[in-house]
Amino acid sequence: MHKRTALVLIDIQNDFITGSLGSPRAPAILPKVYQLLDNHEWPFIAASQDWHPEGHVSFASAHPGLEPGDAVNVTFLDSPLKTETQGVYADHCIPGTWGAEIEDGVKTRLQYLEGYRTPVNYIKKAQNHSVDSYSAFADNQYHQFTTLNTELTVHGIETIIVTGLITNACVRGTSIDGIKLGYEVVLIEDATESISEEIKQAAIQELEGWGKCQTQQQETRLLTLRRGSGV
């Protein structure tokens, strides 16, 4: 059992693998994520899902004239004088669709582990029509927080092992918020992917620049965890 260490699975949903925002690189993380679920005992697991209403602010289809890859200026909900740039994408992760579901192999394993009393916190994020949410802790404007920080605190978690999709967006946002909230963040490099190696490595470099985020290949990390005390 990895004491005080939680496994965090970011947006391992069909739409980010082979669906509307899929990438040929994404499926490669699945065997690594399965290993993390099969070969370890975690006191707590969090699994986030992008969970957008139809016409969400991040959908290009909600902005006449815009195409996926464009951006739009969005006004902050609680500070009308502040704006942020919101990238827009193809429609994705709409509740009730196949694309919003967690990938089958991961979903099955989570259900199995829950059956053996591993607590799993499913976080449905970016449900607010007007604000996107990359981080599993909070939306992009810190207008609203999810239950993740509270759940981690309740379970005595000090270190989060971050995996999932995609490295430069939701994995990045979750890792940065984890650091800000005082967690040790360990990003498993071969259990996260982006649309290109360059973009992935740039995100990893940025995260390592925060100083409290390590990046490790899974095998290396496993050895480190086994050597460490309390594991």
If we measure between CA atoms, which residue out of 123, 136, 117, 109 comes closest to residue 44?
A: 117
Count of other CB atoms within 10 angstroms of residue 118: 16
Cβ closer to Zn ion: 5 or 86?
86
Cβ closer to Zn ion: 192 or 218?
192
Q: Nearest approach, Cβ of 132 to Zn ion (angstroms)?
A: 6
Q: Nearest approach, Cβ of 126 to Zn ion (angstroms)?
A: 5
Cβ closer to Zn ion: 50 or 193?
50
- Compute how many residues bind Zn ion; rule: CB under 5 A: 1
Which residues is 193 bridged to in the sheet? Answer: 165
Is position 15 an interface residue for Zn ion (rule: CB under 5 A)? no
Q: Nearest approach, Cβ of 208 to Zn ion (angstroms)?
A: 25
DSSP state of 68: T
Q: Nearest approach, Cβ of 106 to Zn ion (angstroms)?
A: 18
If we measure between CA atoms, which residue out of 31, 38, 51 comes closest to residue 7?
A: 38
Q: Nearest approach, Cβ of 178 to Zn ion (angstroms)?
A: 19
Nearest-CB residue for Zn ion: 50
If we measure between CA atoms, which residue out of 70, 99, 74 comes closest to residue 84?
A: 74
Cβ closer to Zn ion: 96 or 230?
96
Map the footprint of Zn ion across residues 40-69, applying CB under 5 A: 50
* Alpha-carbon gap, residue 191 to 212, rounded angstroms: 19
Cβ closer to Zn ion: 47 or 186?
47
DSSP conformation letters of 106-147: HHHHHHHHHHTT--EEEEEE--STT----SSSB-TTSSSB-S
Residue 80 CB-density burial (10 A; 0-12 exposed, 13-18 middle, 19+ buried): exposed
- Residues lying near Zn ion in the complex (CB under 5 A) are found at 50
